[in-house]
Structure 1
């Protein structure tokens, strides 16, 4: 029997080609999942909403007139957070009895205000209607709650819908999947461009080995088909999915700002930030009037040190006086060396020259008279007499002393330093000069005050101020309230306003010039809503905002119009109503949630 070697070679090459094409086809089946094209008018109908279970797990939040209760399920464990309705504070030592169907169980307190229980029904999917009985001290209530546990869905991956799982019998999956599934999973992660290059290169190499020019071309065609089939398919015109609902996403345990501007803040985070709430109530408050003012020194305890003439400032050997230094009356606080103009210096030099000349002439005359007084002349009685009388000598001596005093005084006034002294005891409030500075006559060198003697100067326009002097207070920038006493008012208008003067009732050190708000209270009462000042924050728009608690874990920003009553309270003009629950502590933390 003879064999044709050329026929055997052709058969072998054809078999290898078929095997190579089969391998490429197998790769295409692994990578490309089956596609279905929708025709015109294709309608999926009403699609069921998809539920995404958050990391925090299923939860419920209910409240009554006494309590707030939040439950969070995690597997078989149910964690409960119990707070008071009116102030959001955790409740310790409470008895929580939960009934779910036929199962009844009492929760155990694991931390202050936090309770937990473990039951099989917590992990079961479905809707669980709960009856919660709460007893805390003298308060007791019965609350109905509903815990919804979604079903766990297994989502198939891309290579789980491979062709062998669709077209081959299920009995063969156990043998084929261990081999083809890893290959399909690996190739599904490869980019289309890399896939094209790999398939084309494999076809080129195989074509060269098998000496067939058509094989690389067919490999390129297969690679292009693989790339085109693996691209997403978009629906054509008329394709309708019906009424599809947006997936519901639960928030879990992460604080976040919701789309409507409200904030979801889980109970564990509220405990960390110490969030506390209060209920708005009406109260009767005196009618008030507000005036703008500032602090000034008491005129009776204020003095200034001024330059008495033009000169250069100097300081005593003790050094430059500093602000806040205590001085006594008569203390030398500075020196003033007079400074003269050229004309004044010329006139002063001329006066000094004339005085010096006259002084020299007088001294010479006095010397001659004193010398002549020693000569004795015999008189009629035979007694020796002086040629010059004693009165003439004394007259010249007096004249000489006067000229000397005038010269010394002129020199001292013109060129000698002058002492500047404190006119009263107190504390140096301002120092307006430095060493060597030239000042003019009347310039204020420094100001001395008593820091504990402070007045308040307020401005009132005609028709604004009334006789609300029974109870007056000053609101300082740090929200400190200081009682003040009305003293007097100006008799004339300054810039179309009159000035009111008040005195601080207590001796307190308040910086002079501090802006204050004078609050004058009348005898009439008015009903108003008062809230703590710390509950009011600035929103993103710059307006005043109060956070209102709408649910145990939901807070809504409410824009308000308010004015301060004192350092701790604000009066609400608009934005809140009675019985609204607002955040009294921790509002600034809520304002930072994004």
Structure 2
């Protein structure tokens, strides 16, 4: 009876030992060809740290201290991404230039002179241009106005005289005089406007005003840019590239510094600038107020091209002693093995492994650089 009890106790202890070993071991790792990687290689010396076969033994408590994290490798199809440098520019449909059509002095509107950064609405008056006549010009214009007004007065008298004659007067002559009277009045209005009325500078769109260093009473010339209005909701990003193959693969993009801003590909300029192509991405409904014109930004754009492989964080890939890219595979609870791989950049912060790594392996995604330093 004691013998049976002793055998049962030994069998139970063996079962518990095997069960506990199963709990701490990770799934069986294998190479890209599906061959099983031995977790108990004879090349290891059994001591903590770097082993003879290049693997690393590290206790669980040290892994927790160094924040070593892993994830299962899965083969997926993902869109390729590209990262480009660009500059924020105003959108042609969200940008306006205010220029006078004649020389003169700048007068302020009722609200006073607008400063840069002021929000304005379409139709607001930003200022007036009052023409500064010379004494000769003013005398000439006034003389013409007086002559036209005299002609209006004389024509009015002639028309009234014919009306009083009634049927005795020529109807054709009266109609000709009435036509002349209308022409004279139009001339009077034009001359009066030229002398007395200023040119109003009107905002054509809603947006943020930029004052180009102008002030009240300043003499300005026709065609000089006095104000600019920029719509904060509409802008473009001019991204540069030398790769012509990308131009047909762009669809959308986002700004790395402002991930909430979405961009749509609008096309590219047919003109090379310093040997580079300008690809334009536009935003027509921006709500982020932190965007400034002429600000250098970085954009990431998905391409109309897929690639199959294992997507990992870029920091999972480190360089081996031979300067070859590698990842670390977790063979067991405390053992890690380096694996040489080939990869392509997928998007900022991520890569896709195309060769060298099999699916369902536990790949180190946090702490790869620390494992590389273990000796």
The TM-score bracket by the shorter chain reads 0.5 to 0.7
Alignment of 1:314-393 (within 5 A): 314-340=107-133, 342=134, 346=136, 349-357=139-147, 359-360=149-150, 363=153
Could you list the runs of 5+ residues in structure 1 that have no partner in the other structure?
1-61, 69-82, 88-277, 377-383, 533-562, 572-576, 583-594
Alignment of 1:250-329 (within 5 A): 288-329=81-122
Work out whether residues 82 and 301 of structure 2, in 8 Å CA contact, stay in contact via their aligned partners in 1: yes
Deviations 1:239-295 (A, max 9, x none): xxxxxxxxxxxxxxxxxxxxxxxxxxxxxxxxxxxxxxx679999997643322122
Measure, in 2, the Cα distance between the counterparts of 1:438 and 1:526: 67
Match in the other structure for 1:581: 370
Q: Measure how far apart 1:409 and its partner are.
A: 1.5
Question: What is the CA RMSD across the aligned residues, in angstroms?
Answer: 4.7
Measure, in 1, the Cα distance between the counterparts of 2:160 and 2:254: 82
The one of the two structures with greater contact order (alpha-carbon pairs below 8 A, sep at least 6) is 2
Q: Measure how far apart 1:331 and its partner are.
A: 2.9
Secondary structure class of the residue paired with 2:143: helix
Q: Alignment partner for residue 210 of structure 2, among 418, 423, 430?
A: 430
Measure, in 2, the Cα distance between the counterparts of 1:505 and 1:363: 58
Q: 1:502 to 1:373 in 2, by over 3 A?
A: closer
Could you list the runs of 5+ residues in structure 2 that have no partner in the other structure?
1-48, 50-56, 317-344, 352-365
Match in the other structure for 2:60: 66
Larger radius of gyration: 1
Measure, in 2, the Cα distance between the counterparts of 1:493 and 1:416: 47
Alignment of 1:458-473 (within 5 A): 458-461=239-242, 463=244, 465=246, 467-469=248-250, 472-473=253-254
Q: Measure how far apart 1:419 and its partner are.
A: 1.9
Aligned residues: 265
Deviations 1:177-226 (A, max 9, x none): xxxxxxxxxxxxxxxxxxxxxxxxxxxxxxxxxxxxxxxxxxxxxxxxxx
TM-score by length of 1: 0.36
Work out whether residues 338 and 415 of structure 1, in 8 Å CA contact, stay in contact via their aligned partners in 2: no
Q: 1:389 to 1:286 in 2, by over 3 A?
A: closer
Q: 1:531 to 1:400 in 2, by over 3 A?
A: same
Q: Measure how far apart 1:322 and its partner are.
A: 4.2
Work out whether residues 238 and 281 of structure 2, in 8 Å CA contact, stay in contact via their aligned partners in 1: yes
Secondary structure class of the residue paired with 1:501: strand
Q: 1:355 to 1:466 in 2, by over 3 A?
A: closer
Work out whether residues 281 and 530 of structure 1, in 8 Å CA contact, stay in contact via their aligned partners in 2: no
Q: Measure how far apart 1:491 and its partner are.
A: 2.3
Secondary structure class of the residue paired with 1:508: coil
Q: 1:471 to 1:280 in 2, by over 3 A?
A: farther
Secondary structure class of the residue paired with 1:290: strand
Deviations 1:25-66 (A, max 9, x none): xxxxxxxxxxxxxxxxxxxxxxxxxxxxxxxxxxxxx99522
Work out whether residues 324 and 427 of structure 1, in 8 Å CA contact, stay in contact via their aligned partners in 2: no
Q: 1:581 to 1:292 in 2, by over 3 A?
A: same
Match in the other structure for 1:85: 65
Q: Measure how far apart 1:417 and its partner are.
A: 0.9
Work out whether residues 312 and 338 of structure 1, in 8 Å CA contact, stay in contact via their aligned partners in 2: yes
